[in-house]
């Protein structure tokens, strides 16, 4: 049955139903295993469109999903038979170099932001040229909003904090269609909840204000890969690199992948940068991984931060089918027994697109924030490991799903039971505890205050108390 869109007559953006030619392309997510068919995709042009889409969904008694970059790991940015409030078109960037802040719409990606604040802005300090960098991650198509509101791990995290730790203010449209501004002074309880559970059912974010970080125009970074036969040596070096968590500027991540990607041989890689002057970075990287000898591929050297981040994002392919499973290592979890599981599990991957990646936590600015200061509770863990199955055709699905399920089951004894909410697992049973731990009860109180009718409901949204 066709929806009557007359109530949306003043909508400035684009309205797509299954009868529109552009509908099929508009519902494609990063994970094309998701085949959800909404009744309406409302591509919003501004906050007024967002309010109108929410009101329409309420009046029609239709469920709501919110989509930014379309990267939700479990596909919850679409809803079957409901209304998708698509905010990718809200792409404003308001840069204040004097205050070192930037206010952006949820449709902005990190490379877009860094081109404005880092690449095209410079200042000198102690004879060194700097730019201002946002707290972003590697993937160029991830929405800054989704990344930040669920946490936000990136190469600057140990030095400057999570993406959500950079938030100064958030603008949100609530279930009544009203625009609220949340910060430390106004709606402080909502601001607390949005920093870590912002996609879990409080409203639709339309603007985010961030503090920015001074970063030299020339840094020391890159990537280096060794054959999978040397994986345990690289694992040990990586573990020891962060054993005392002392140097907060050394930000190297670990990856099991194929080289050349995706049709080459299995390799273990380290990539990232030193968040400081290039000369100091060269010495720090040499001390950390110099004992591993020359890599088979790649290397480290002087580079620009934006150049490095652009290269790091090139292998993140939009449009594959995927399933993500993972968790935070327990205190002693990343040890010899886990090394064996990681190597043997990855060797059995049926698709060359699949990978195992570590998000670097390892103390620093992330751990200095108390677990109750924001809704994000995973402050003390050393590393997050994601086993990622990625493949192309439907005929490959059964083999890849079986592989990732078996791999994760073998890893489970080495994990602490917590799960990063930005890598949501739709099949997770006790997701409130896994995502939010002791913060969940407070989140329920905020939910009751700001969405008492549970308008923003999905399978893993915060439940009313």
User: What are the structural domain ranges in the chain?
Assistant: 11-86, 93-215, 216-423
The CATH classification number of 216-423 equals 3.40.462.20
Whether 11-86 and 93-215 share one fold: the answer is no
Q: Is 439 exposed, middle or buried (0-12, 13-18, 19+ CB in 10 A)?
A: buried
Residue 101 CA to residue 110 CA, distance in Å, equals 14
Q: For residue 262, is the peptide bond before it cis, meaning its omega torsion is within 30 degrees of 0?
A: yes
Phi and psi at 84, nearest 5°, equal -95, 115
**For residue 49, with 0-12 CB atoms within 10 Å meaning exposed, 13-18 middle and 19 or more buried, which class applies?**
buried
d(CA 190, CA 207): 15
> Residue 310: phi, psi to the nearest 5?
-65, -45
3-class secondary structure, 321: strand
Q: In the 8-state DSSP scheme, what is residue 330? A: P
Q: Which CATH architecture has domain 11-86?
A: 2-Layer Sandwich (3.30)
Q: pTM of the entire structure?
A: 0.96
Q: Regarding the domain delimited by 93-215, which CATH topology (the fold level of the hierarchy) does it fall under? A: 3.30.465
- Write phi, then psi, for 67 (nearest 5 degrees): -125, 130
Q: What pLDDT tens digit does each residue of the chain (465 aa) get?
A: 799 999 999 999 999 999 999 999 999 999 999 999 999 999 999 999 999 999 999 999 999 999 999 999 889 999 999 999 999 999 999 999 999 999 999 999 999 999 999 999 999 999 999 999 999 998 888 999 999 999 999 999 999 999 999 999 999 999 999 999 999 999 999 999 999 999 999 999 999 999 999 999 999 999 999 999 999 999 999 999 888 767 899 999 999 999 999 999 999 999 999 999 899 999 999 999 999 999 999 999 999 999 999 988 776 788 999 999 999 999 889 999 999 999 999 999 999 999 999 987 878 999 999 999 999 999 988 899 999 999 999 999 999 999 999 999 999 999 999 999 999 999 999 999 999 999 999 999 999 999 999 999 999 999 999
Crossing angle of helices 397-411 and 336-347, rounded to 10°: 170
Element (H, E) at 284: helix 278-289
Helix (H/G/I), strand (E/B), else coil: 212: coil
Give the DSSP H or E segment for 273: strand 265-274
């Amino acid at each position: 049955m066709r929806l009557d869109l007359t109530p949306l007559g003043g909508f400035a953006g684009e309205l797509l139903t299954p009868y529109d030619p552009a509908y099929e392309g508009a519902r494609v997510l990063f994970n094309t295993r998701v085949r959800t068919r909404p009744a309406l995709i409302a591509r919003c042009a501004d906050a007024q469109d967002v309010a109108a889409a929410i009101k329409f969904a309420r009046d029609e008694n239709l469920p709501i999903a919110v989509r930014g970059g379309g990267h939700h790991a479990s596909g919850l940015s679409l809803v079957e038979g409901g209304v998708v409030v698509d905010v990718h078109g809200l792409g404003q960037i308001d840069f204040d170099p004097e205050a070192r802040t930037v206010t952006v719409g949820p449709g902005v990606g990190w490379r877009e932001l860094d081109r404005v604040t880092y690449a095209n802005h410079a200042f000198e300090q102690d004879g060194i040229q700097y730019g201002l960098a946002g707290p972003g991650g590697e993937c160029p198509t991830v929405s800054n909003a989704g990344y930040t509101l669920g946490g936000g791990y990136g190469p600057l995290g140990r030095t400057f904090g999570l993406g959500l730790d950079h938030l100064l203010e958030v603008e949100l449209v609530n279930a009544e269609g009203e625009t609220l501004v949340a910060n430390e002074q106004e709606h402080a309880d909502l601001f607390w909840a949005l920093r870590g559970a912002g996609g879990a059912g409080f409203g639709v974010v339309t603007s985010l204000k961030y503090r920015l970080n001074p970063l030299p125009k020339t840094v020391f970074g890159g990537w280096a890969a060794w054959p999978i036969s040397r994986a345990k040596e690289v694992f040990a070096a990586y573990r020891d690199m962060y054993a005392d968590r002392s140097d907060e500027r050394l930000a190297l991540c670990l990856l099991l992948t194929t080289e050349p990607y995706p049709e080459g041989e299995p390799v273990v890689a380290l990539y990232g940068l030193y968040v400081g002057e290039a000369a100091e970075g060269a010495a720090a990287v040499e001390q950390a991984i110099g004992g591993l000898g020359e890599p088979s591929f790649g290397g480290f050297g002087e580079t620009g931060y934006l150049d490095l981040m652009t290269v790091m994002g090139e292998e993140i392919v939009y449009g594959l089918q995927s399933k993500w499973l993972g968790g935070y290592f327990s205190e002693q979890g990343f040890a010899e027994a886990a090394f064996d599981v990681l190597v043997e599990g990855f060797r059995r991957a049926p698709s060359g697109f699949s990978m195992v990646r570590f998000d670097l936590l390892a103390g620093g600015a992330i751990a200095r924030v108390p677990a109750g200061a924001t809704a994000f509770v995973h402050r003390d863990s050393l590393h997050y490991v994601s086993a990622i199955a990625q493949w192309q055709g439907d005929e490959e699905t059964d083999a890849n799903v079986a592989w990732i399920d078996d791999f994760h089951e073998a890893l489970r004894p080495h994990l602490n039971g917590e799960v990063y909410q930005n890598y949501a697992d739709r099949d997770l049973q006790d997701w409130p505890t896994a995502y939010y731990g002791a913060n969940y009860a407070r989140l329920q109180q905020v939910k009751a205050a700001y969405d008492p009718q549970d308008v923003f409901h999905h399978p893993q949204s915060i439940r009313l108390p």
